[in-house]
Structure 1
Amino acid sequence: MSAADMEAPLCLPRRPLTRLPRAALPQGTVDTHFHVFRAGAPLNTPRSYTPDIATISDWIEFSGNLGIARGVLVQPSVYGLDNRVLLEALAAYPDRLRGIVVIDPETAETEIERLDRLGVRGVRINTRNKGGLPLAAARTLAESIAPLGWSLQLQINPEQLPDIAAPLSGIRLPIVIDHLGFIPLARETRSLHVDALKRLMDRAEAYVKVTAPYRLTKDVNYDGFAEVACALAASHAERLLWGSDWPHTELWDGMPDDTELVETMQAAIDDPAVAEKIFVRNAEALFFGR
């Protein structure tokens, strides 16, 4: 084991489901953000973490228990540009899954078209983890994938939110922000960050994943999450997406309960019409139109 591997600690294992949410998820719910890992698949070096193995079969069982109809599988940073585990999953469940890959910005058009046929619908930029693509790659990637209607998925820091629009000017494609842009939920700065997300969503085809509150606060009750979700839903319900963030990578000190996470989201968005958009319709239109 190399020194770099030793610096990538093993993630906590996911918690098993012990009960179902008190209220069922809307019929047709789409999980727009989860990862899978296969034993023996080569891991990137350097990387930010070493995953606990959670396979596509594990997610199929998980999603079936929760009533999740379909999913969007996101390439994790620990696999770098090697999308084989993701593509294996898409091949196994072509009607149920779509994928977000990580590719070299200079990838040939023929390869992008091949990935499209396999069910890929976007490319991920990740400035927060070792092995992720930088924001500087955004324009080149956007120019390559826009003709296919793919989205550009961004896992970035909140201070980078104002820097997104400029490099993509003149290119029309969906932009999707992971995990509320990692904005801190502290009351003192909450409204400023919410305003930044709203300004971004005012741009045509910009979406925000209302996901992973445990990445935004250390408060076990996720104080502030409901307020942020409600504020964004009041003005941009058609631009919000829900995802499980299963199996909750990069955690070493406490693992969230998936049922409680679903109920937290359900409590924040209690209007059935709005919930239908966030859990089902927005993701259907963005990822499953073909």
Structure 2
Amino acid sequence: MSDAPLCLPPKPLGALPRLPVGACDSHFHVFEAGAPLASPRSYTPQILTIADWQPYAEAAGIARGVLVQPSVYGLDNGVMLRAIARDPGRLRGVAVVAPDISAGALRELDAGGVRGIRINTRNKAGVALEAVAELLGKVGPLGWSVQFQVRAEQLADVAALEHGEVPLVLDHLAFIRFGEADTGERLDALRRLLDRPNICTKISAPYRLTARADYADVGAAITALTASHPHRLLWGSDWPHTELWDGMPDDGDLLSAYEHWLPDPQLRQQIFVDTPNSLFFSR
């Protein structure tokens, strides 16, 4: 356990601001008691299931959700698929797969509600960036997207990918660290990517990106991006906020911050409803 410490649990659920009607949580994780964990891994999760996410979704007015395969399960997508099967009309998934996965296995995942794959260079047991070239041609015909949990300095590597019409989605503002000397340079690199067709970013997990307790620097960047790239943004809760050992955020405070950063109802509709639904729920 010394190399995979146990995460904090989320804070008890209080009153939450309501999201726009039809809102989609485009990034959250669930875990299952007894499911084998990868070793080595970056953290040990609290056991929180789809039944634990549902009260949060109900309180916030979340109509749909996209489960993202966490690194602690490696290539075994079973926990995620079983969660989707609990409510297949409302849930979709982003899987982690090996580059040599067969077309038949991908079709099975598609039938189980998967609509994308995840590349993760930040966590142990993730799939590396080098796998993308082989996977793009396999997932493209399915209409899936490719999600990237990468470090901000890898934005140039993402920019160099020949992805055709396959949508690319960057998790958590590409993990740009705010308040550092290169923040402006990294934001410019992100904007250049968002200028391209079919590239989006999730405006999620501000607590991972700044030392500020109010996340105001991240919020200012999100507000600016809504002015320049409103159709390239989507929101996710990042629930249950894994890989935190102190400073667990309050879900009500987080949603209130997004109300402040995104006051325009039309922009909220685009970011919370339209863009994620287009990416994950077109069928």
TM-score by length of 2: 0.98
Contact 1:187 1:224 in 2 (8 A): no
**Could you tell me how far apart the structure 1 residues matched to 2:163 and 2:75 are?**
27
The number of residues matched between the two structures is 283
CA deviation after TM superposition for structure 1 residue 34, in Å: 0.2
| Residue equivalent to 2:109 | 115
2:261 matches 1:287: no
2:94 matches 1:65: no
Unaligned runs of 5+ in 1: none
Contact 1:185 1:223 in 2 (8 A): no
2:218 matches 1:207: no
Unaligned runs of 5+ in 2: none
Residues 219-245 of structure 1 deviation map (CA, whole Å, 9 limit, x = unaligned): 111131121101111111001000000
CA deviation after TM superposition for structure 1 residue 199, in Å: 0.6
**Could you tell me how far apart the structure 1 residues matched to 2:61 and 2:115 are?**
23
Residues 144-188 of structure 1 deviation map (CA, whole Å, 9 limit, x = unaligned): 10011100000000000011132x315320000000000011164
| Residue equivalent to 1:7 | 3
**Could you tell me how far apart the structure 2 residues matched to 1:120 and 1:140 are?**
18
CA deviation after TM superposition for structure 1 residue 6, in Å: 3.1
Q: Say what the alpha-carbon RMSD is for the aligned residues.
A: 1.1
| 3-state SS, counterpart of residue 210 of structure 2 | coil
Give the 3 Å change call, closer, same or farther, for CA 7–173 of structure 1 in structure 2: same
| 3-state SS, counterpart of residue 118 of structure 2 | strand
Residues 186-207 of structure 1 deviation map (CA, whole Å, 9 limit, x = unaligned): 1643332221111111121001
| 3-state SS, counterpart of residue 123 of structure 1 | strand
**Could you tell me how far apart the structure 2 residues matched to 1:100 and 1:170 are?**
18
**Could you tell me how far apart the structure 2 residues matched to 1:100 and 1:65 are?**
24
Contact 2:37 2:73 in 1 (8 A): yes
For 2:257, the aligned partner's letter is: T
Contact 2:16 2:255 in 1 (8 A): no
Residues 119-155 of structure 1 deviation map (CA, whole Å, 9 limit, x = unaligned): 1000000000000000000111111100111000000
**Could you tell me how far apart the structure 2 residues matched to 1:61 and 1:20 are?**
11
Match of 2:215 among 222, 228, 243: 222
Match of 1:32 among 18, 26, 35: 26
Match of 2:120 among 116, 126, 132: 126
Match of 1:270 among 252, 263, 276: 263
TM-score by length of 1: 0.95
For 1:98, the aligned partner's letter is: R
For 1:123, the aligned partner's letter is: I
Q: Identity of aligned pairs, percent?
A: 53
**Could you tell me how far apart the structure 1 residues matched to 2:271 and 2:12 are?**
25
Give the 3 Å change call, closer, same or farther, for CA 65–170 of structure 1 in structure 2: closer
| 3-state SS, counterpart of residue 217 of structure 1 | coil
Match of 2:253 among 252, 260, 265: 260
For 2:110, the aligned partner's letter is: D
**Could you tell me how far apart the structure 1 residues matched to 2:86 and 2:55 are?**
14
**Could you tell me how far apart the structure 1 residues matched to 2:129 and 2:137 are?**
14
**Could you tell me how far apart the structure 2 residues matched to 1:43 and 1:75 are?**
12
| 3-state SS, counterpart of residue 153 of structure 1 | strand
2:81 matches 1:87: yes
| Residue equivalent to 1:16 | 12
Contact 2:136 2:163 in 1 (8 A): no
